[in-house]
Amino acid sequence: MRSDLASCVVSVSGIRGIVGPAMNPSLMCALGAAVGRRLAKGKGVVLGRDSRDSGPLLADALASGLRGVGCEVIDLGIVPTPTVPLMVRRLRAGAGVQISASHNPEPWNALKIYTRRGRNVDGDELEQVLALMASPPADLWVGHQALGQRRDQPDAIALHCRAVLDTVDLARLHKRRLRVVVDSVNGAGAVIAPQLLEQLGCEVIPIYDRPDRPFPRDPEPTAANVTETGAMVKALGADLGFVQDPDADRLAIIDERGRYIGEEYTLVLCAAARFSAADVGPDAVAVTNLSTSRMLEDVAARHGAQVIRTRVGEAHVLDAMQASQALIGGEGNGGVVDPRVVFCRDSQAAMALVLDYCARREKPLSHLLAEIPSYAMHKEKVGLDRAAVAAAIAQVLESPLVQGAVIDVQDGLKLIWPDSWLHLRASGTEPAARIISEAPSAAAARKLAGQLRGLIKAPLLKAGHH
């Protein structure tokens, strides 16, 4: 295998690496040719990128590879990641590619690949792309008359906004005129969020809305990274604050008191918004992974709705959403999927759901949050490889710990009690395992994780609250 590709982390959710030794123009050109040949099969390919400074160079190289095998390149420029699959569907393109390393810092970049269905590539499709790169056919590159053209598609942001606006009660939002701080961390969200929020009837206070500038901080929207934004929400008397990650698929929320509410609440609030809408019947479904907060079950139960749990990973959530015709889905990292907008995590769709809910309920966000039972989550990383995890699971199943628990073995082992749960699973990216627990108090959550760790005698690598 070529050494730059070997230095990348390669999975169906993307090909990710350090710019230079891993992500470089040569690799991008080869990937472009392979995507064009294997997935797009001569049809147009939608190309987007986030705002990081390696984006234009990598996009040019990727476009060259695509054009060299005869594919037209439909260039969106800087756009949120979900805009790419949305435009693939709209334009009936052959594939889509987004250059973004999401929440990773500037030295990183990555390529996300979408098929003509507007979905992430699956394992087979990714294998086909990589196989073609490993042994390219002699006729890979086309002659001068068959080269693909490159054209701009300037209305992608407007089309994305329109799709989001169609999901809300615009008249009510304009009447309510919520005051909103939006922090796009100088990422791709900056090209859409301020104008979208204005169209949603908000009084908008954008911060870090300069995609031509570097990220002002560690760009992952965690509590520690957004304290300044929280202080601003409070000082400016805003109704709420939104924080996007650099490719604007994930959303974190700050309440009117300036408090970062945690990314677990993003999906829960959006589900509350969706399930309580007037047009929603009692057979509604939400989909999330096994490691996401059980607040979702509480919210669903209130509306007679059902929650389906999947293995961890966006692709699993999307597959189950499709199979169950779910109204909403996502994960506890602030990624929310509203299929009415696009079949992909989209912070724009999530912002609209939260605002629509606030306007409809006519209560401050902190009051709406107080209606949701609260839990504490505890996360640990332990030193167990995949084989050791399998042995540990067999051992736990024989132990008294499982008494009275509902047992789920889709992804490692999850034990579920009426107001708490415990999940052990092998990490997908390193030879370690994760223990995640949730209970009504932090002490109870920590105790559950400790009981499991003691039982399987796993060495603790790192622990944290959530």
- Residue 100 Cβ vs Mg ion, minimum distance, rounded to whole Å: 7
Strand partners, 381: 434, 462
Task: Tell me the window of 96-104, 169-177, 225-233, 236-244 that interacts with Mg ion (CB under 5 A).
Answer: 96-104
With 0-12 / 13-18 / 19 or more C-beta atoms within 10 angstroms meaning exposed / middle / buried, residue 224 is exposed
Question: Kind and range of the H or E element at 308?
Answer: strand 306-310
- Residue 453 Cβ vs Mg ion, minimum distance, rounded to whole Å: 31
Active-site residue identified among 102, 291, 293, 437: 102
Residue 102 sits in the site that holds Mg ion (CB under 5 A): yes
Residue 346 sits in the site that holds Mg ion (CB under 5 A): no
Q: How far, in Å, are 80, 157, 274, 329, 422 from residue 188 at the CA level?
A: 5, 11, 26, 22, 36
Length in residues, the chain: 466
Q: Angle at which helices 295-302 and 264-275 pack, to 10 degrees?
A: 10
Residues 6+ away with beta carbon under 8 Å from 171: none
Residues 6+ away with beta carbon under 8 Å from 281: none
The nearer residue to Mg ion, 110 or 401, going by C-beta atoms, is 110
Task: Tell me the window of 99-107, 110-118, 199-207, 218-226 that interacts with Mg ion (CB under 5 A).
Answer: 99-107
Site for Mg ion, residues 203 to 262, rule: CB under 5 A: 245, 247, 249-250
Degrees (nearest 5) of the Cα angle 9, 12, 18? 25
Strand partners, 253: 242
What is the size of the binding site for Mg ion (CB under 5 A)?
Answer: 5
Residue 50 sits in the site that holds Mg ion (CB under 5 A): no
Give exposure, 425-442, as e/b (b: 16+ Cβ within 10 Å).
Answer: bbbeeeebbbbbbbbeee
- Residue 361 Cβ vs Mg ion, minimum distance, rounded to whole Å: 28
Task: Tell me the window of 45-53, 100-108, 151-159, 360-368 that interacts with Mg ion (CB under 5 A).
Answer: 100-108
- Residue 243 Cβ vs Mg ion, minimum distance, rounded to whole Å: 12
With 0-12 / 13-18 / 19 or more C-beta atoms within 10 angstroms meaning exposed / middle / buried, residue 69 is buried
- Residue 337 Cβ vs Mg ion, minimum distance, rounded to whole Å: 13
| Catalytic annotation present for 26 | no
The nearer residue to Mg ion, 77 or 187, going by C-beta atoms, is 187
Site string for Mg ion, 426-445 (x = CB under 5 A): --------------------
The nearer residue to Mg ion, 16 or 294, going by C-beta atoms, is 16
Tokens of 418: 């009426």
The nearer residue to Mg ion, 153 or 244, going by C-beta atoms, is 244
The nearer residue to Mg ion, 331 or 411, going by C-beta atoms, is 331
Active site residues per annotation: 102
For binding to Mg ion (CB under 5 A), which residues are involved?
Answer: 102, 245, 247, 249-250
